[in-house]
């Protein structure tokens, strides 16, 4: 990679890694449904100037529902249930191996032994992490985080059909898909005061967190990521995603005091090792 593109890759890892801690802060200001709803309302604003990408409605809806809506609602609820940001970032990386499973089931794609081995190793890591958390609430949060990874994996199957389209355009129009439904669910579940808190009871910190999850994370992050994927083979870009949980663990430890050690550290290392094995097996294939 050129030095400028290496810098872009490191910036992506840092922005997306910090995003998990910012989500933790955001959940102190918003309910999970309201947070997700406003994130996608703001994320969809570029549709006012960007034409709809030349992709099928099926691909657009699937990306919006699973890759965006489902992934982040489950992630927000997992963190609301007590899962710390760094650990959350590790568990959702299982989307890579889970994409392999869904592709094998739904699309009849054949995976290599290395890819299956990566999934097996990663799941051992999840079991180790589950044994390191305390109480039924924490185990419940781990389960919800795995649903987030599964929703992300399902969204990846639809995202494949959008490769030829503008990443920013796909991001904006796919954000438009879950936004109205999430606003309605938030209104019914949380009430009008909580749903419209950014307008009725605005605070600079709440808006800062909300805008961080949209402007650098969604718009700039996806734009840079799409640029790298169009410039280099996926095998060179894919491993960058492994830096995201590493950055998330550093930022969470620094800003929230999340402690990582003992059995949990072993589990994290095993999960990331399994994900890495799957990535490099895919590269070789």
Q: Best-predicted range by mean pLDDT among 2-6, 201-205, 229-233, 234-238?
A: 201-205
CA distances 215 to 9, 52, 67, 119, 212, Å, are 17, 20, 18, 33, 6
Supply the pLDDT for residue 170. 92
Rounded (5°) CA angle 119-242-264: 70
What's the chain's average pLDDT?
A: 86
When pLDDT is cut at 50, 70 and 90, the band that residue 243 belongs to is: confident
What is the residue-wise DSSP string for 120-148?
A: HHHHHHHHHHHHHS-HHHHHHHHHHHHHH
Angle 167-176/221-231 helices, nearest 10 degrees? Answer: 140
CA-wise closest residue to 43 among 163, 174, 156, 155: 174
- pLDDT per residue as tens digits for the range 33-91: 999 999 999 999 999 999 999 899 999 999 999 999 999 999 999 999 989 998 898 88
Which residues touch 31 (CB under 8 Å, ≥6 apart)? Answer: 186, 189, 190, 194, 195
Supply the pLDDT for residue 119. 76
Supply the pLDDT for residue 285. 55
CA distances 185 to 28, 128, 191, 210, 216, Å, are 19, 35, 9, 19, 27
Cα dihedral 264, 9, 179, 33 in deg (nearest 10):
20
Is the per-residue pLDDT at 263 higher than 80? no
Rounded (5°) CA angle 125-123-20: 65
Q: Sort 83 into a burial class: Cβ within 10 Å, 0-12 / 13-18 / 19+.
A: buried
Q: Sort 102 into a burial class: Cβ within 10 Å, 0-12 / 13-18 / 19+.
A: middle
Percent of the residues in the chain that have a pLDDT greater than 90, as a whole number: 46
Supply the pLDDT for residue 156. 87
Classify residue 249 as left (phi > 0), alpha (psi -120 to 50) or beta: alpha
Tokens of 270: 């095993």
Cα separation, 217 vs 211, in Å, equals: 9
Is the per-residue pLDDT at 215 higher than 60? yes
- pLDDT per residue as tens digits for the range 139-196: 888 899 999 999 999 998 888 888 778 888 999 999 999 999 999 999 999 999 999 9
Supply the pLDDT for residue 206. 94
Cα separation, 78 vs 88, in Å, equals: 8
pTM metric for this prediction: 0.89
Supply the pLDDT for residue 136. 54
Rg over alpha carbons for the chain, rounded to the nearest Å, is: 18
The lowest-confidence range among 22-31, 136-145, 179-188, 227-236 is 227-236
Locus of tokens 């910090």:
18
When pLDDT is cut at 50, 70 and 90, the band that residue 233 belongs to is: low
Check: CB of residue 263 under 8 Å from CB of residue 91: no
Percent of the residues in the chain that have a pLDDT greater than 70, as a whole number: 92
């Amino acid at each position: 990679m050129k030095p400028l593109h290496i810098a872009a890759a490191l910036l992506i890892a840092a922005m997306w890694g910090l995003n998990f801690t910012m989500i933790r802060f955001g959940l102190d200001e918003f309910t999970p449904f309201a947070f997700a709803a406003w994130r996608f309302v703001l994320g969809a604003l570029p549709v006012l100037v960007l034409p709809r990408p030349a992709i099928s409605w099926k691909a657009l809806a699937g990306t919006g529902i699973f890759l965006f809506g489902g992934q982040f609602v489950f992630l927000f609820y997992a963190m609301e249930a007590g899962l710390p940001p760094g650990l959350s970032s590790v568990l959702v990386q299982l989307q890579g191996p889970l994409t392999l499973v869904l592709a094998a089931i739904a699309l009849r794609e054949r995976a290599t032994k290395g890819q299956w081995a990566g999934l097996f190793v990663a799941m051992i890591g999840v079991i180790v992490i589950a044994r390191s958390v305390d109480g039924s609430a924490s185990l419940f949060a781990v389960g919800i985080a795995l649903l987030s990874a599964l929703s992300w994996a399902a969204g990846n199957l639809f995202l494949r059909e959008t490769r030829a389209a503008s990443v920013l355009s796909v991001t904006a129009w796919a954000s438009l898909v879950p936004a109205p439904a999430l606003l309605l669910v938030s209104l019914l579940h949380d009430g009008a005061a909580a749903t419209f808190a950014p307008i009725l009871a605005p605070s600079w910190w709440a808006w800062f967190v909300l805008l961080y999850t949209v402007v650098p994370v969604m718009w700039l992050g996806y734009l840079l990521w799409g640029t790298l994927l169009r410039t280099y083979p996926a095998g060179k870009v894919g491993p960058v995603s492994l830096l995201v949980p590493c950055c998330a663990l550093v930022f969470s430890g620094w800003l929230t005091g999340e402690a990582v050690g003992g059995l949990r550290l072993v589990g994290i290392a095993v999960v990331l090792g399994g994900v890495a094995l799957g990535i490099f097996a895919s590269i070789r294939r």
